[in-house]
Amino acid sequence: MKKWSGNANHPKKGTRITVDPIRKIKDIKAISNMTENNPRDHLLFIMGINNGLRAGDLVRLKVKDVGYLKIGDTLTIKESKTGKNNILVINKTVYKALKNYLDSQRPNNSSYLFASRKGNGHLQSQAISKLVKKWTSAINLKGNYGAHSLRKTWGYMQRTQHGVGFEIICKRYNHSSPAVTMRYLGIEDKEVHGVLMNEIG
Protein backbone atom coordinates (compact mmCIF):
# COMPACT_ATOMS: atom_id res chain seq x y z
CA MET A 1 0.00 0.00 0.00
CA LYS A 2 1.30 3.42 -0.95
CA LYS A 3 1.94 5.73 1.99
CA TRP A 4 0.26 9.13 2.04
CA SER A 5 2.85 11.87 1.73
CA GLY A 6 0.65 14.95 1.81
CA ASN A 7 0.60 18.04 3.99
CA ALA A 8 1.86 17.52 7.53
CA ASN A 9 -0.75 20.00 8.78
CA HIS A 10 -3.60 17.67 7.85
CA PRO A 11 -5.28 16.04 10.90
CA LYS A 12 -4.91 12.32 11.46
CA LYS A 13 -7.79 10.06 10.58
CA GLY A 14 -10.30 9.73 13.38
CA THR A 15 -9.30 12.94 15.15
CA ARG A 16 -11.60 15.91 15.56
CA ILE A 17 -10.88 18.56 12.97
CA THR A 18 -10.33 21.85 14.78
CA VAL A 19 -8.26 24.40 12.94
CA ASP A 20 -5.94 26.95 14.52
CA PRO A 21 -5.72 30.70 14.06
CA ILE A 22 -2.44 32.17 12.86
CA ARG A 23 -1.14 33.54 16.14
CA LYS A 24 1.92 35.59 15.20
CA ILE A 25 2.12 38.85 13.25
CA LYS A 26 5.35 37.73 11.58
CA ASP A 27 3.60 34.65 10.17
CA ILE A 28 0.72 36.76 8.86
CA LYS A 29 3.20 39.09 7.16
CA ALA A 30 5.09 36.13 5.70
CA ILE A 31 1.95 34.71 4.10
CA SER A 32 0.87 38.17 2.95
CA ASN A 33 4.22 38.70 1.23
CA MET A 34 4.21 35.19 -0.21
CA THR A 35 0.77 35.59 -1.83
CA GLU A 36 1.37 39.05 -3.31
CA ASN A 37 2.30 37.59 -6.69
CA ASN A 38 -1.18 36.01 -6.88
CA PRO A 39 -3.69 38.90 -6.52
CA ARG A 40 -6.73 36.62 -6.07
CA ASP A 41 -5.15 34.51 -3.34
CA HIS A 42 -3.68 37.59 -1.66
CA LEU A 43 -7.09 39.25 -1.56
CA LEU A 44 -8.67 36.09 -0.14
CA PHE A 45 -6.09 35.95 2.65
CA ILE A 46 -6.26 39.68 3.46
CA MET A 47 -10.05 39.89 3.32
CA GLY A 48 -10.38 36.73 5.39
CA ILE A 49 -8.13 37.82 8.25
CA ASN A 50 -9.48 41.38 8.29
CA ASN A 51 -13.21 40.67 8.44
CA GLY A 52 -13.91 37.58 10.49
CA LEU A 53 -16.48 36.33 7.99
CA ARG A 54 -16.68 32.70 6.93
CA ALA A 55 -14.64 31.97 3.83
CA GLY A 56 -17.74 30.28 2.41
CA ASP A 57 -19.54 33.64 2.50
CA LEU A 58 -16.63 35.62 1.06
CA VAL A 59 -16.34 33.39 -2.00
CA ARG A 60 -19.98 34.00 -2.92
CA LEU A 61 -19.21 37.69 -3.51
CA LYS A 62 -19.19 38.91 -7.09
CA VAL A 63 -17.00 41.66 -8.53
CA LYS A 64 -20.03 43.95 -8.90
CA ASP A 65 -20.74 43.61 -5.16
CA VAL A 66 -17.43 45.12 -4.07
CA GLY A 67 -15.88 46.85 -7.08
CA TYR A 68 -17.27 50.27 -6.11
CA LEU A 69 -16.44 50.10 -2.38
CA LYS A 70 -14.00 52.54 -0.80
CA ILE A 71 -12.19 52.64 2.55
CA GLY A 72 -14.75 52.67 5.36
CA ASP A 73 -17.59 51.32 3.21
CA THR A 74 -19.64 48.32 4.31
CA LEU A 75 -21.61 45.68 2.45
CA THR A 76 -24.44 43.73 4.09
CA ILE A 77 -24.34 40.02 3.38
CA LYS A 78 -26.52 37.13 4.55
CA GLU A 79 -24.55 34.33 6.16
CA SER A 80 -25.17 31.04 4.39
CA LYS A 81 -24.83 29.01 7.62
CA THR A 82 -26.97 31.09 10.00
CA GLY A 83 -29.21 33.06 7.65
CA LYS A 84 -28.35 36.16 9.69
CA ASN A 85 -27.15 39.44 8.25
CA ASN A 86 -23.55 40.49 8.74
CA ILE A 87 -21.31 43.12 7.18
CA LEU A 88 -18.17 43.14 5.10
CA VAL A 89 -16.01 46.14 5.98
CA ILE A 90 -13.37 47.68 3.72
CA ASN A 91 -10.39 48.88 5.75
CA LYS A 92 -7.18 50.26 4.22
CA THR A 93 -5.46 46.89 3.93
CA VAL A 94 -8.47 45.23 2.29
CA TYR A 95 -8.94 48.17 -0.08
CA LYS A 96 -5.32 48.02 -1.21
CA ALA A 97 -5.54 44.26 -1.92
CA LEU A 98 -8.92 44.66 -3.63
CA LYS A 99 -7.75 47.52 -5.85
CA ASN A 100 -4.60 45.62 -6.81
CA TYR A 101 -6.66 42.58 -7.75
CA LEU A 102 -9.22 44.53 -9.80
CA ASP A 103 -6.59 46.69 -11.55
CA SER A 104 -4.27 43.81 -12.41
CA GLN A 105 -6.79 41.11 -13.32
CA ARG A 106 -9.69 43.24 -14.64
CA PRO A 107 -12.27 40.52 -13.95
CA ASN A 108 -15.73 40.63 -15.50
CA ASN A 109 -18.21 42.58 -13.37
CA SER A 110 -20.58 39.62 -13.16
CA SER A 111 -17.94 37.04 -12.27
CA TYR A 112 -17.18 35.76 -8.79
CA LEU A 113 -14.54 37.71 -6.89
CA PHE A 114 -12.82 34.46 -6.00
CA ALA A 115 -13.49 32.52 -9.16
CA SER A 116 -12.44 28.92 -9.42
CA ARG A 117 -10.03 28.09 -12.20
CA LYS A 118 -12.23 25.06 -12.91
CA GLY A 119 -15.45 26.13 -14.59
CA ASN A 120 -17.42 29.31 -13.93
CA GLY A 121 -18.08 28.87 -10.21
CA HIS A 122 -16.35 30.20 -7.12
CA LEU A 123 -13.72 28.59 -4.93
CA GLN A 124 -15.09 25.90 -2.63
CA SER A 125 -14.24 25.52 1.07
CA GLN A 126 -12.10 22.47 0.35
CA ALA A 127 -10.01 24.45 -2.15
CA ILE A 128 -9.61 27.30 0.35
CA SER A 129 -8.45 24.85 3.01
CA LYS A 130 -5.86 23.49 0.61
CA LEU A 131 -4.58 27.00 -0.06
CA VAL A 132 -4.33 27.84 3.65
CA LYS A 133 -2.55 24.55 4.35
CA LYS A 134 -0.15 25.27 1.50
CA TRP A 135 0.63 28.75 2.82
CA THR A 136 1.15 27.66 6.42
CA SER A 137 3.22 24.68 5.37
CA ALA A 138 5.42 26.91 3.18
CA ILE A 139 6.45 28.95 6.23
CA ASN A 140 6.79 25.82 8.41
CA LEU A 141 3.92 26.74 10.70
CA LYS A 142 3.02 23.87 13.01
CA GLY A 143 -0.62 23.08 13.72
CA ASN A 144 -3.79 22.35 11.81
CA TYR A 145 -4.96 25.01 9.39
CA GLY A 146 -7.86 25.34 6.99
CA ALA A 147 -10.50 27.71 5.62
CA HIS A 148 -11.72 28.66 9.13
CA SER A 149 -8.19 29.70 10.14
CA LEU A 150 -8.69 33.02 8.35
CA ARG A 151 -11.82 33.81 10.37
CA LYS A 152 -10.21 32.63 13.59
CA THR A 153 -7.10 34.72 12.94
CA TRP A 154 -9.26 37.85 12.82
CA GLY A 155 -10.75 37.11 16.24
CA TYR A 156 -7.45 36.06 17.78
CA MET A 157 -5.68 39.21 16.58
CA GLN A 158 -8.53 41.50 17.62
CA ARG A 159 -8.34 40.02 21.11
CA THR A 160 -4.58 39.78 21.59
CA GLN A 161 -3.33 42.77 19.58
CA HIS A 162 -6.19 45.25 19.94
CA GLY A 163 -7.73 44.24 23.28
CA VAL A 164 -11.21 43.66 21.87
CA GLY A 165 -13.46 41.81 24.32
CA PHE A 166 -15.13 38.47 23.70
CA GLU A 167 -18.57 40.10 23.74
CA ILE A 168 -17.81 42.21 20.65
CA ILE A 169 -16.06 39.35 18.84
CA CYS A 170 -19.04 37.14 19.71
CA LYS A 171 -21.40 39.65 18.11
CA ARG A 172 -19.24 39.80 15.00
CA TYR A 173 -19.16 36.02 14.72
CA ASN A 174 -22.93 35.79 15.34
CA HIS A 175 -22.20 33.29 18.11
CA SER A 176 -24.83 32.53 20.76
CA SER A 177 -22.57 33.54 23.67
CA PRO A 178 -19.02 34.74 24.47
CA ALA A 179 -18.33 31.27 25.90
CA VAL A 180 -18.84 29.79 22.43
CA THR A 181 -16.39 32.36 21.05
CA MET A 182 -13.80 31.47 23.68
CA ARG A 183 -14.00 27.79 22.73
CA TYR A 184 -13.95 28.67 19.04
CA LEU A 185 -10.75 30.67 19.37
CA GLY A 186 -9.10 27.95 21.46
CA ILE A 187 -7.76 29.48 24.65
CA GLU A 188 -4.43 27.81 25.34
CA ASP A 189 -3.38 26.61 28.82
CA LYS A 190 -0.25 28.77 28.76
CA GLU A 191 -2.41 31.84 28.18
CA VAL A 192 -4.53 31.03 31.23
CA HIS A 193 -1.32 30.50 33.22
CA GLY A 194 -0.06 33.90 32.08
CA VAL A 195 -3.26 35.57 33.33
CA LEU A 196 -2.98 33.85 36.69
CA MET A 197 0.54 35.22 37.06
CA ASN A 198 -0.85 38.77 37.07
CA GLU A 199 -0.47 40.11 40.61
CA ILE A 200 -3.43 41.73 42.34
CA GLY A 201 -3.15 43.55 45.67
Active site residues per annotation: 54, 81, 148, 151, 175, 184
Beta bridge partners of 87: 76
Alpha carbons within 13 A on the beta-carbon side of 111: 14
Signed CA dihedral, 177, 182, 183, 185: sign only: positive
CA distances from 66 to 25, 81, 111 (A): 27, 21, 12
Report the C-alpha gap between 195 and 193 in whole angstroms. 5
Report the C-alpha gap between 53 and 79 in whole angstroms. 9
